[in-house]
Structure 1
Amino acid sequence: MSGTFTLPLESEQLMLRIQDFKIINSDQIHSNHEPVLILIAGDASDRKFFRLLGKEISAICMQFPKWEGGYGGDPISWIGMHNALSKMGLPVPKVIEIDETNSCIWTEDLGDIFLTSILSEEKLDIDNPNCNEPINYYKKALDLLIKAQYPDIKIDHPAINRFFDFEKLYYELNFFITHFLNGFLNLNISEDNPDYNNFYQDLKLLCKKLDSCERVLCHRDYHVRNIMLKDNELFWIDFQDARMGPHSYDVVSLVRDSYVKITWKTRQYFYDYYIENLNKVREKNNLNHISALSFNLELLLMGLQRNIKAIGSFGYLATKKNKPNYLKYIHQTLSILCSKEAQIHEETDIKAMLPNLFKLLYDLHEGSLKEKLNDKIINFK
């Protein structure tokens, strides 16, 4: 294996090789079969995932497009972050075997239950007793973030030199312009066009404010489809893009997730829970408390950036990856962005701070661009 980070395997190597098994779809499973690999639904990346059936172990094969490292979404980064998170005591799947030749990492099979799987109600609501179980799991997920942000032991890991700084945050907002506003809606917005000077100034102001935040380790894609449940315990997956960023980055990724409807009262409950427990850990580490007032402002700004980036990803997946299923989450994400709770802080009016950005969001949600957006979603091919 190349790279700086080595990974001790949790079990004896079994010489699992993808070419040694027949690959079938789930509808081809029959009772008396030889060991096979079942192609299973993956994430939004270019990786392929297979489930091993009919052998003495149950395993998942994660196949990368190629064996390389250095940019984040690659096998070397996955291994490095797995190594670090394991040493920190974070729950990640056990590694069974690493096969560089076929660009495969074989891990234990965590099953099919994601955090989203236990959300039986239309909305996650702190006032609904039927939501008690998922709410408790969300709290555990927030506890795990604090554990990663303030580990008991210092660990070197690939994320230590990757940052959500101004350049990265601004790149993500431009990703929204490139792949959603221009690529999906064909609006032809450009920083060279003087008509959009004020709009781009708003984007830069948002990134400058977030760039000034204290940085901790971030999972980078912390939503309900990257948190799995096995034996009533949570597990992290898809952590290879981890980097250093604001405390709020993963918090809003989870609590302002595009895939789940959550009441704002419930969101605030989670925010209060997180900051209370965060400050307990900071106190143990002889660090000053973070005030709820300042953190609530960071949450609003970070949530704005994350939700905008998510819409950009939905446009990218549709136009570049031919995965239009994510388009159905655009309106839900816009409703979060345009709700009054996403704009008003105790001391700061976010909408007044970034008027040109919010004008565009309102135009998409309920204004001049709504009809065009609806038409594009309905008729996308």
Structure 2
Amino acid sequence: MSEPANPHDPRAAQRLAWTRAALGDATAGLERASTDAGFRSYWRTQGTAPSRIVMDSPPDREDVRPWLRARDLLEAGGVRVPQVLARDVDAGFLLLEDLGGPTMAQVIDDANADAHIDSAITQLLTLQAMSLPNDTVLFGEALLQRDAGLFEDWYVRRHLGIELDCGDAERLQLAQRRLMDNALAQARVPTHRDYMPRNLMPVADGPAVLDFQDMVVGPIAYDPVSLLRDAFLSWPEARVDAWLRRYHARAIEAGLPVPDIATFLRDADWLGVQRHLKILGIFARLHHRDGKPRYLADAPRFIAYLDAVVPRYRELDPLQEVLEHTIKPAITRLSA
């Protein structure tokens, strides 16, 4: 259904007027295509052929310039990204090609997963081989410290409603420090930071990559584990292991700086733990601060991942103790 004119929503009226001017069609309409975890929204044009997508990025909430800068860098590096057909940066509107409806997350299944993952790895290898400007943000100590704080501040303290005692706080800090040191020791390459099936569109010359505005220079195992230990999809560990080995072999062929396979698998495991703790914090923040509760429904997936991986590594025993003795009992109380 097209978006009706709404005199009580100036942004909606501005969005529709800009779209009609960009298309040169005074009768064009808009319908919501999707939203994301930020403040951007996406709208599909109605009554025109071919259809287009309007990105609405309110300039007082989410500057569109980082998105455009990353898009241009990715395109120059050979990565398939949406084409920009018209733009008004100051107003926060972009007219984009319409890549179609379903994301990879909506079409991937047991039968076709190998093909989709292989195409995603192909695109990822292109991304990781890019050259980025010297001023590209480094996924280093500062970002890692910020990520580490999200779990305790938003998931533990705000969502579960508990304050860690001195012993648990020290154990969590020690585990986070070890996770950060592992990430900092890895070879650094261009890193999407959210390279997962929800952000990939299965087009013929793709997959096309979306939601790339937070691209940094970061640890080489980060994007592979984002893809294969997704925040919204779970696969059997044996299959994930096979895909990680497939990525590793292809990365060696591509000349990327991956370590030996045993080290790489450990690095992927540890980055998966770091990432899942961070996302638990982000999802809790989306719920409590931004009024977006649906993301927390996936929290049990993260806990299950931590249960599968953390016990493998004695160095992460401090985290295991906090999870078993404090976090899980609090989850049980909250869900009772």
Name the TM-score, length of structure 2 as normaliser: 0.87
Structure 1 CA distance for aligned equivalents of residues 171 and 90 of structure 2? 51
Code of the residue aligned with 2:331 in structure 1: it is K
TM-superposed deviation, 1:80 = 1.0
TM-superposed deviation, 1:41 = 2.5
Aligned match of 1:374: 335
Contact 2:108–2:116 (8 Å) recurs in 1 = no
TM-superposed deviation, 1:188 = 2.4
Code of the residue aligned with 1:370 in structure 2: it is I
- Residue segments in structure 2 that go unaligned for 5+ positions in a row: 1-13, 21-25
Residue 98 (structure 2) aligned to one of 86, 109, 113: 109
Aligned match of 2:129: 150
Contact 1:21–1:36 (8 Å) recurs in 2 = no
Contact 1:87–1:155 (8 Å) recurs in 2 = no
TM-superposed deviation, 1:172 = 0.5
Q: Map 1:168-179; keep pairs closer than 5 Å.
A: 168-179=143-154
Structure 1 CA distance for aligned equivalents of residues 122 and 334 of structure 2? 38
After superposing on structure 2, the runs of 4+ consecutive aligned residues of structure 1 that deviate more than 4 Å are none
TM-superposed deviation, 1:21 = 6.7
Residue 36 (structure 1) aligned to one of 29, 46, 49: 29
TM-superposed deviation, 1:22 = 9.0
- Residue segments in structure 1 that go unaligned for 5+ positions in a row: 1-16, 24-32, 125-130, 376-381
TM-superposed deviation, 1:194 = 5.9
The CA deviation string for residues 264-305 of structure 1, in whole angstroms up to 9 with x for no partner, is 0110111110110101111xxxx7762101111111111110
Aligned match of 2:285: 316
Whether 2:229 is the aligned partner of 1:250: answer: no
Give 1 or 2: higher helix fraction.
2
Contact 1:166–1:210 (8 Å) recurs in 2 = no
Structure 2 CA distance for aligned equivalents of residues 102 and 116 of structure 1? 31
TM-superposed deviation, 1:206 = 1.5
Whether 2:298 is the aligned partner of 1:329: answer: yes
Structure 1 CA distance for aligned equivalents of residues 284 and 326 of structure 2? 14
Contact 2:191–2:222 (8 Å) recurs in 1 = yes
Structure 1 CA distance for aligned equivalents of residues 99 and 230 of structure 2? 22
Contact 1:67–1:76 (8 Å) recurs in 2 = no
Select between 96-105 and 260-269 the one with higher mean Cα deviation: 96-105
Contact 1:49–1:61 (8 Å) recurs in 2 = yes
TM-superposed deviation, 1:363 = 4.5
The CA deviation string for residues 109-150 of structure 1, in whole angstroms up to 9 with x for no partner, is 111111111134xxx4xxxxxx2x222111111121111111
Contact 2:80–2:207 (8 Å) recurs in 1 = yes
Aligned match of 2:246: 273
Code of the residue aligned with 2:124 in structure 1: it is L
TM-superposed deviation, 1:232 = 7.1
SS of the residue corresponding to residue 164 of structure 1 reads: coil
Contact 1:21–1:35 (8 Å) recurs in 2 = no
SS of the residue corresponding to residue 286 of structure 2 reads: helix
TM-superposed deviation, 1:199 = 2.2
Aligned match of 1:303: 272
Assess, with a 3 A threshold, how the Cα gap between structure 1 residues 364 and 314 changes in structure 2: closer, same or farther. farther
Structure 1 CA distance for aligned equivalents of residues 157 and 280 of structure 2? 12
Whether 2:84 is the aligned partner of 1:91: answer: no
Coordinate RMSD, CA, aligned: 2.4
Aligned match of 2:183: 210
Residue 49 (structure 1) aligned to one of 30, 39, 42: 42
Structure 2 CA distance for aligned equivalents of residues 165 and 289 of structure 1? 18
Structure 2 CA distance for aligned equivalents of residues 195 and 292 of structure 1? 33
SS of the residue corresponding to residue 30 of structure 2 reads: strand
Name the TM-score, length of structure 1 as normaliser: 0.77
Select between 82-91 and 222-231 the one with higher mean Cα deviation: 222-231
TM-superposed deviation, 1:67 = 6.8
Contact 1:110–1:228 (8 Å) recurs in 2 = yes
Aligned match of 2:234: 261
Aligned match of 2:170: 197
Residue 58 (structure 2) aligned to one of 59, 65, 86: 65
Assess, with a 3 A threshold, how the Cα gap between structure 1 residues 343 and 194 changes in structure 2: closer, same or farther. closer
Structure 1 CA distance for aligned equivalents of residues 223 and 257 of structure 2? 21
Structure 2 CA distance for aligned equivalents of residues 295 and 87 of structure 1? 28
Code of the residue aligned with 1:107 in structure 2: it is L
Residue 223 (structure 1) aligned to one of 196, 201, 213: 196
SS of the residue corresponding to residue 275 of structure 2 reads: helix
Code of the residue aligned with 2:294 in structure 1: it is N
SS of the residue corresponding to residue 233 of structure 1 reads: coil
Assess, with a 3 A threshold, how the Cα gap between structure 1 residues 343 and 98 changes in structure 2: closer, same or farther. same
Q: What percent of counterpart residues are identical?
A: 23
Contact 1:67–1:103 (8 Å) recurs in 2 = no
The CA deviation string for residues 209-264 of structure 1, in whole angstroms up to 9 with x for no partner, is 21111110011111111111234731101101100111111111111112112000
Whether 2:7 is the aligned partner of 1:18: answer: no
Q: In the comparison of the two structures, how many residue pairs are matched? A: 318
SS of the residue corresponding to residue 254 of structure 2 reads: helix
SS of the residue corresponding to residue 272 of structure 1 reads: helix
Select between 252-261 and 224-233 the one with higher mean Cα deviation: 224-233
